[in-house]
Structure 1
Amino acid sequence: MDVKYINPFMQSFINVMPQIGFTNVKKEGISMKDKNIESKGIAINVGIVGDIRGNIVYVMDEESGKKIASKMMMGFPVEELNEMAQSAISELTNMLTANASTNFFNEGININISTPTLIYGEEIQIKMNSNQVLCIQLSADDIPIEIDIAFDNISL
């Protein structure tokens, strides 16, 4: 996949996470997957329409989600993935994808994003809209987060 479709998401993560209070933000790796994504506990789906179309799915385990929600709520302890914690995580993915949208715009690519849809459970399987999915593994203060990218009509 052309880096112009990858960099907006990595740049967004690197720019947004420190604004929330994370200090050690880094890219861990990039890999390819088929269209079937298995969730490690939490999956947040964001649709993309415009010059490019597809889906972005943010994947993390439940403990990582609790830590991120706690940071988003100014350090308030998060013992369970309740409605407030889910809202915090969803808002983070909204912020990340909106920032990526701005990065795309700066490259001459116009996109709009949908409202994030959070799904969580033991064994969630999501079928992406493309046969090939690019997976970016990132971390913030050693909390792993995966971004799965599937765009229509763009070969990877």
Structure 2
Amino acid sequence: MDVKHINPFLDSFLNVMPQVGLTDVQKKGISLKGRFIESPGVMIILGIMGDIKGNVIYGTSIESAKKIASSMMMGMPVNELDELAQSAISELTNMLTANAAINFSKENIEINISTPTLVHGEFTANSSSDKVVCVEMQVNDMVFEVNIALEKNTL
């Protein structure tokens, strides 16, 4: 995986999160993971196709997901991760990944993204690559992982 594939996602966080009322956004760390990724509670998976291929797997705790969904819904209380809250979190990751796609296009890398798939509970996700770069973002004191598994499309 090329390290330059990380910045479009970091930039998307800095651009999109303030639009949904989450203004304190910081990169906390970067690590390498293998193919299998343990869920922190909620994971949203999007496929990437085009000049590069693979997937991005966002992860956060259920409590953080509820707080983020509440912020996206103008402060409406979110007491459980119901269908509306799941839809809000899925839409956020769709916005983040679409913004990253725009950032990639500025580097002459054209990609398309799949619709988000949200899963919650205790499980292990299987990424599209043996090498996954995990960027840990802190958003208003909540941890939000961005697991990036991308490679150049050879077709």
TM over 0.5: yes
Matched, 1:10 2:10: yes
The residue type equivalent to 1:83 in the other structure is E
The residue type equivalent to 1:109 in the other structure is I
TM-score normalised by the chain length of structure 1: 0.95
- What CA RMSD, in Å, does the superposition of the two structures yield over aligned residues? 1.1
Tell me how far apart the structure 1 counterparts of residues 25 and 130 of structure 2 sit (CA, whole Å): 29
Q: Report the CA distance between 1:140 and its aligned residue.
A: 1.1
Alignment partner, residue 132 of structure 2:
133
Alignment partner, residue 36 of structure 1:
36
Q: Percent identity?
A: 58
Tell me how far apart the structure 2 counterparts of residues 7 and 152 of structure 1 sit (CA, whole Å): 15
Q: Report the CA distance between 1:152 and its aligned residue.
A: 3.4
The alignment of Structure 1 onto Structure 2 pairs a total of residues equal to 153
TM-score normalised by the chain length of structure 2: 0.96
Tell me how far apart the structure 2 counterparts of residues 64 and 26 of structure 1 sit (CA, whole Å): 15
Tell me how far apart the structure 2 counterparts of residues 44 and 23 of structure 1 sit (CA, whole Å): 21
Spell out, residue by residue over 1:67-106, the C-alpha distance to the aligned partner (whole angstroms, 9 max, x if none): 0000000000100000000000000000000000000000
Equivalent residue of 2:36, what SS?
strand
Tell me how far apart the structure 2 counterparts of residues 98 and 34 of structure 1 sit (CA, whole Å): 25
Larger deviation, residues 144-153 vs 48-57? 144-153
Alignment partner, residue 110 of structure 1:
110
The residue type equivalent to 1:22 in the other structure is L
1:35–1:132: 8 Å Cα contact kept in structure 2?
yes
Alignment partner, residue 81 of structure 1:
81
* Structure 2: gaps of 5 or more residues: none
Tell me how far apart the structure 2 counterparts of residues 42 and 48 of structure 1 sit (CA, whole Å): 20
Equivalent residue of 1:22, what SS?
coil
Q: Report the CA distance between 1:153 and its aligned residue.
A: 4.9
Alignment partner, residue 71 of structure 1:
71
Alignment partner, residue 145 of structure 1:
144
The residue type equivalent to 1:44 in the other structure is I
* Structure 1: gaps of 5 or more residues: none
Larger deviation, residues 123-132 vs 45-54? 123-132
The residue type equivalent to 1:131 in the other structure is D
